């Protein structure tokens, strides 16, 4: 069976503005995003909370109606072909949306039946998936008496019941402890290695770096950059970022650093200095020495290795905060 | 790193009718699991009511409250009224309670909305599922109101018109369920307490449950005001079908109100529901 040629996800100038409600003015949550996700890819939408990631995933999964642009999933339009898209996608939302009136196994069984499986096939598929994800002993468990990690795994199983062409995950590891998070990463890596197309949103830099083939960085409803993690690191010129805070205005000599080979940018904001370097060398030590020479003390200093965090910093000029 | 190769799922035919049927099967499973807790709740009020008014009070010498000597027993008046109010209460609660959870707590409605059906059909499915519960609630009340009474206080019930009985029971359940969906999608969860105090309780007390509508001739303003209460038409419809000897509204009047009201409320509720789910 050959894969259909359409990309898994394609958006053009996708926009969503929530109308004003009472005293709240209208909210432009997504302001024109272009995405292109081929089949088989593990794609990440990365950005701080409120960047518009969940709204974007909401539009791709047909539950948020775009106010501009177009979005296609498996070649189908999210507005016109919503029902057909729903048949072809699996969605794992951020909250525990499992059906609290049903056991874990029944959640899967009925999900399968909603998507056209016979009751017997649905039960068999549910058993198979629960075994694969180490959930067999929780089959009869109430979804709200499980740990966060278990419930999330049940939700992933539920989303996989009908063999979706694209699996969407909205902040899959938010609120999970580090151990559970790395376990879940293994689950997702395994799925991708098995050929599953996955689109996830995350506000964890390290999650995007650990999992995704390609990443789109979004902030304030706009796409800042997209590409592989390495491409982003190179393109942003954001290599190592050295930050020093002085207890007085920074010494003037610091501006001369910008001319040196291996340094792409120097930003000075009163006592705060940020150097974007390709070859970090001992710039941090130099900055401290320059301060000492000028009689200015250092109150804070940091050196960030090349990462999506430094990319974000280079793109937005702001430090990445959750 | 381990590779998770999923076996392809068994062949599926996800047509809209099949999905709809599967959603109803889910409701049936949940109803079966929660049968006792759900229906004990509906039964307590009518059972207590007939016990006090058809058994205790007549024993104390305060019986035959309605109609006076030679008139119908109070238990006869109560049969259609209590069946009607059970249908309405159960159908409304069956849609409002789960909806409050789904729309607010964890926003689990987003997940229900991912089932491959158009969103308005999801609203219709909720109405039908709640109507089924209303109907079951109404049927369960029958034996209680027919059997609990003091000697000489037995209700005089005979089905005068089966088609009217069936239509009123079915359409009345749908009417309440669609009204429940409309209220549930318009109200925020903090107002549910208010809903019970300000809407459901007055609706039951003044729903011609404990007296026929025609008896309100003496209180004209209340008689007219009662026409805005959907339960009045269900009580009167059941009165017409079950106790035709007692004065009741003309058939065309309650059928028009119940069927027309159901159509109107279903239309409005699917719109408000869709607006809550699709943002």
DSSP category for residue A39 = T
Which residues are CB-contacts of B231 (< 8 A; sequence separation ≥ 6)? B84, B85, B88, B203, B204, B207, B208, B209
Give the CATH number of domain A9-233.
3.40.50.300
In this predicted structure, what is the pLDDT of residue B2? 65
ipTM of this complex prediction, to 2 decimal places: 0.85
Interface test with A, best of B14, B21, B37 (most A CBs within 10 A): B14
Find the residue in B nearest to A119 (Cα). Answer: B22
Q: What is the pLDDT of residue B123?
A: 95
Cβ–Cβ gap B6/A112 under 8 Å: no
B5-41 pLDDT, tens per residue? Answer: 677 777 777 789 999 999 999 999 999 998 888 888 7
pTM to 2 decimals?
A: 0.86
Run of H or E including A198: strand A197-202
Residues with Cβ within 8 Å of A37's Cβ and at least 6 positions away in sequence, in order, are A7, A8, A9, A10, A43, A166, A197, A199, A214
* Contact assignment for B5 to A194 by CB distance below 8 Å: yes
Q: What is the per-residue pLDDT for A319?
A: 67
Average pLDDT over residues A68-79: 93
B1/A contact by beta carbon, under 8 A: yes
A83 touching B, CB under 8 A?
Answer: yes
**Whether A63 and B277 lie within 8 Å, measured CB to CB:** yes
The per-residue pLDDT for range A274-315, each reduced to its tens digit, is 888 877 778 888 888 888 888 888 888 888 777 777 777 777
Summarize pLDDT for B126-136 with one digit per residue, the tens: 999 999 999 99
The answer to whether residue B144 scores a pLDDT higher than 90 is no
Instruction: Find, among B157, B185, B176, B161, the residue nearest to B76 by Cα.
Output: B157
β-strand partners of A246 = A298
Kindly state the average pLDDT of the residues A192-209: 89
Average confidence (pLDDT) over B232-239: 92
pLDDT digits (tens, 9 = 90+) for A109-122: 999 999 999 999 99
pLDDT digits (tens, 9 = 90+) for B225-235: 988 999 999 99
H/E element, A42: strand A42-46
The whole-number pLDDT of residue B70 equals 59
Number of CB atoms found within 10 A of residue A20's CB? 10
- Residues in A closer than 8 angstroms to B279, CB to CB, are 18, 58, 63-65
Mean pLDDT, residues B159-165: 89
C-alpha distances out from residue A90 to A105, B7, B84, B119, Å: 17, 16, 43, 17
Which residues face A222 on adjacent strands? Answer: A219
Q: Min CA distance, B18 vs chain A (Å)?
A: 6
Nearest CA in chain B to A121: B10
How far apart are alpha carbons B52 and B46 in whole angstroms?
Answer: 10
Q: What integer is the mean pLDDT of B152-164?
A: 85
Q: At what angle do helices B119-147 and B251-277 cross, to 10 degrees?
A: 140
User: Helix, strand, coil: what percent of chain A each, to 5?
Assistant: 35, 30, 35
Distance in angstroms (rounded) separating the CA atoms of residues A44 and A229: 10
- Mutation for testing the A interface, residue in B2, B3, B12, B274 having most A CBs under 10 Å: B12
B51 DSSP assignment:
I
Please give the pLDDT value at position B258: 93
Dihedrals phi, psi of A55, to nearest 5 degrees: -65, -40
**Closest of A224, A308, A218, A198 to residue A29, by C-alpha:** A218
**pLDDT score at B67:** 46
Interchain CB contact of A193 with B (< 8 Å): yes
pLDDT band at B68, cuts 50/70/90?
A: low
Nearest to A116 among B18, B101, B111 (CB): B18
Tell whether the model's pLDDT for residue B66 goes beyond 50.
no
User: How many angstroms separate the CA of residue A26 from the nearest CA in chain B?
Assistant: 13
**CA-based nearest distance B9→chain A, Å:** 6
**Measured between CB atoms, does A160 come within 8 Å of chain B?**
yes
Distance of CA A218 to the CA centre of its chain: 9
DSSP B67: S
Is residue A7 predicted with pLDDT exceeding 70? yes
| pLDDT at residue A231, as a whole number | 83
CB contact under 8 A, B15 and A116: yes
Compare all CA atoms of chain A with the CA of B121 and give the residue at the minimum distance.
A83
Mean pLDDT value across residues A133-156: 88
Q: Does B16 touch chain A (CB under 8 A)?
A: yes
Q: Tokens for A175, please give them.
A: 């609120």
Query: Does A185 touch chain B if contact means CB atoms closer than 8 Å?
Result: no
| Stretch among A2-11, A196-205, B137-146, B269-278 having the lowest mean pLDDT | A2-11
Task: Among 3.40.50.300, 1.10.10.10, 3.30.70.1450, 3.30.70.1560, name the CATH number for the domain at A239-305.
Answer: 3.30.70.1560
Q: Among the listed ranges A21-30, A63-72, A107-116, B170-179, which one has the minimum average pLDDT value?
A: A21-30
Q: Are B235 and B259 in contact (CB under 8 A)?
A: no
Would the CB atoms of A99 and B16 count as touching at under 8 Å? no
Domain spans in chain A, listed from the N-terminal domain onward: 9-233, 239-305
pLDDT recorded at residue A119: 92
- pLDDT confidence of residue B192: 78
């Amino acid at each position: 069976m050959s894969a259909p040629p359409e990309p898994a996800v394609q958006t053009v100038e996708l926009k969503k503005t929530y109308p004003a409600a009472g005293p709240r003015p209208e909210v432009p949550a997504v302001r024109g995003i272009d995405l292109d996700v081929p089949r088989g890819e593990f794609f990440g939408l990365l950005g701080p909370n409120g960047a518009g990631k969940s709204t974007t995933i909401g539009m791709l999964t047909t539950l948020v109606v775009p106010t501009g642009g177009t979005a296609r999933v498996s070649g189908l339009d999210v507005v016109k072909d919503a029902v057909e898209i729903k048949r072809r996608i699996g969605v794992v939302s951020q909250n525990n949306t499992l059906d609290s009136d049903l056991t874990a196994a029944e959640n899967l069984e009925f999900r399968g039946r909603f998507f056209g499986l016979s009751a017997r096939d649905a039960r068999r598929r549910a058993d198979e998936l629960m075994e694969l994800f180490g959930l067999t002993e929780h089959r009869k468990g109430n979804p709200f008496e499980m740990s966060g990690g278990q419930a999330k795994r049940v939700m992933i199983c539920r989303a996989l019941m009908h063999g979706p062409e694209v699996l969407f995950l909205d902040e899959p590891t938010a609120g999970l402890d580090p151990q559970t998070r790395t376990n879940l990463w293994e689950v997702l890596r395994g799925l991708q290695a098995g050929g599953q197309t996955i689109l996830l949103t995350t506000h964890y830099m390290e999650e995007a770096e650990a999992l995704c083939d390609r990443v789109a960085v979004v902030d304030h409803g706009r796409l800042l950059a997209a590409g592989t993690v390495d491409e982003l690191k190179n393109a942003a010129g954001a290599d190592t970022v050295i930050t020093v805070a002085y207890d007085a205005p920074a010494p003037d000599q610091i501006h001369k650093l910008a001319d040196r080979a291996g340094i792409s940018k120097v930003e000075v904001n009163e006592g705060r200095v940020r150097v974007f370097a390709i070859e970090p060398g001992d710039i941090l030590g130099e900055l401290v020495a320059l301060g000492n020479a000028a009689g200015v003390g250092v109150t804070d200093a940091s050196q960030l290795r090349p990462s999506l965090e430094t990319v974000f910093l280079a793109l937005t000029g702001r430090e990445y905060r959750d | 790193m381990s590779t998770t190769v999923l076996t392809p799922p068994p062949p599926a035919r996800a047509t809209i009718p099949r999905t709809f049927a599967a959603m109803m099967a889910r409701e049936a499973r949940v109803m079966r699991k929660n049968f006792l807790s759900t229906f004990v709740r509906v039964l307590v009020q009518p059972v207590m009511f007939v016990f006090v008014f058809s058994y205790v009070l007549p024993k104390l010498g305060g019986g035959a409250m309605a109609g006076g000597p030679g008139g119908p027993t109070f238990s006869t008046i109560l049969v259609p009224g209590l069946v009607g109010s059970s249908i309405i209460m159960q159908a409304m609660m069956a849609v409002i309670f789960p909806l409050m959870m789904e729309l607010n707590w964890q926003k689990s409605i987003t997940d229900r909305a991912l089932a491959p059906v158009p969103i308005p059909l999801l609203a219709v499915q909720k109405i039908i599922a709640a109507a089924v519960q209303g109907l079951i609630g109404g049927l369960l009340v029958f034996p209680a109101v027919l059997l609990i009474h003091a000697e000489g206080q037995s209700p005089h019930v005979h089905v005068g018109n089966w088609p009217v009985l069936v239509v009123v029971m079915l359409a009345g359940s749908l009417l309440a369920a669609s009204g429940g969906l409309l209220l549930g999608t318009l109200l925020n969860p903090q107002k549910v307490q208010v809903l019970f105090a300000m809407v459901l309780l007055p609706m039951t007390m003044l729903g011609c449950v404990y007296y026929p509508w025609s008896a309100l001739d003496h209180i004209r303003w209340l008689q007219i005001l009662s026409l805005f209460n959907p339960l009045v038409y269900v009580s009167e419809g059941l009165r017409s079908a079950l106790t035709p000897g007692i004065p009741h509204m003309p058939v065309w009047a309650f059928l028009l109100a119940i069927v027309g009201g159901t159509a109107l409320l279903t239309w409005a509720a699917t719109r408000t529901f869709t607006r809550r789910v699709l943002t």
